[in-house]
Amino acid sequence: MPAGRVGAGILVMLAGMLMFSLNDVLGKWLMSSYSAAQVMLVRSLSALVVLLPFLLASNPAQVIRVERPGLQALRSGLLAVEGIGFYFAVKYLPLADVVTYWLAAPVYVAALSPLLLGERVGGRAWIAVLIGFAGVLVALQPSAESLTPEALIALAGSAAYALAMILGRKLRGTPDRVLVFWQIIGAALVSLPGVLFLEGGWTPPGARDLAFLATLGIVAMLAHMLVNRSFKLAPAAVVMPFMYSMLVWAVIFGAMVFDDQPQPAMLAGAVLIVAAGLMLARRPAQPS
């Protein structure tokens, strides 16, 4: 593969992680005034406005005639739960803490791959899995005080994200734009009851906040498109390690915007999780 394409893939991945980090900052800021359901619903609708022209310009029939609709629905539901869980957790926890829990998702994927995908996982990968789980424990510091509902929701959200990643591998034949379309629809459908029926589910936004809510969806949509593009430009093993740049942005933005100060245990756990992720990204492929 030409070095120029690999370099472009790395730059595009770094740009995607910056967009995801901006999405996180906007989401945390908006959660001070709006419910997680409302943030997710408006984000989904604005992202849909961005995506629809791409779908209409290609093959709209692909959106309806999807492979394995049951798995598509399950994946969309998991990603909706993951997104709402992220916004709920980030309202109460430092940005870097929540991102650290989410970055453990590749470790969960590796641990579940033999059971759910029938893939072989070698000894080096299992060592990485153990290191990753150790990182989660170090970051969480399990105790009656640390096992707050917010922390548990963050862990559950990262697990839901890992399961969605596994389903994405089962649906690898589905075009990216179709996967993203149903992901957006799922998020809108899951968040709609919370907006309609939960107290405080909908707060009428002013013009400025409505613009920020819409921007959130556009930024998230752009982030997904950049990440998908990076995997087409360069091998996954090359670009995946650069996903961890999101943790750097989380620490920087958390300190600058929200005055978050990461605890030493959280930083130590993050180092272990990143090390495990790098080991998993670099491991040789195992035949199934």
Give percent above pLDDT 90 in the chain: 19
Segment 179-184 mean pLDDT: 84
Q: The pTM is what? A: 0.81
Q: What is the secondary structure of 190-233 as a DSSP string? A: HHHHHHHHSTTS-----HHHHHHHHHHHHHHHHHHHHHHHHHHH
pLDDT at residue number 287? 41
Average pLDDT, the chain: 83
Q: How confident is the model at residue 52 (pLDDT cuts 50, 70, 90)?
A: confident
Segment 31-50 mean pLDDT: 90
* Per-residue CA distances from 22 to 28, 156, 229 (Å): 10, 23, 19
pLDDT at residue number 110? 80
pLDDT at residue number 237? 63
Q: How confident is the model at residue 238 (pLDDT cuts 50, 70, 90)?
A: confident
pLDDT at residue number 29? 93
Q: CA torsion 230→224→96→9, rounded to 10°?
A: 10
Segment 171-176 mean pLDDT: 74
Segment 223-248 mean pLDDT: 79
Segment 205-210 mean pLDDT: 90
* Per-residue CA distances from 221 to 8, 27, 52, 104, 120 (Å): 20, 14, 12, 22, 33
Segment 17-26 mean pLDDT: 92
Residue 236 has pLDDT above 80, yes or no: no
Task: Say how far residue 153 (Cα) sits from the centre of its chain.
Answer: 14
**pLDDT tens for each residue of 120-166:** 777 888 888 888 888 888 887 776 566 788 888 988 988 998 888 88
pLDDT at residue number 125? 80
In whole angstroms, what is the distance from residue 136 CA to residue 190 CA? Answer: 28
Residue 286 has pLDDT above 50, yes or no: no
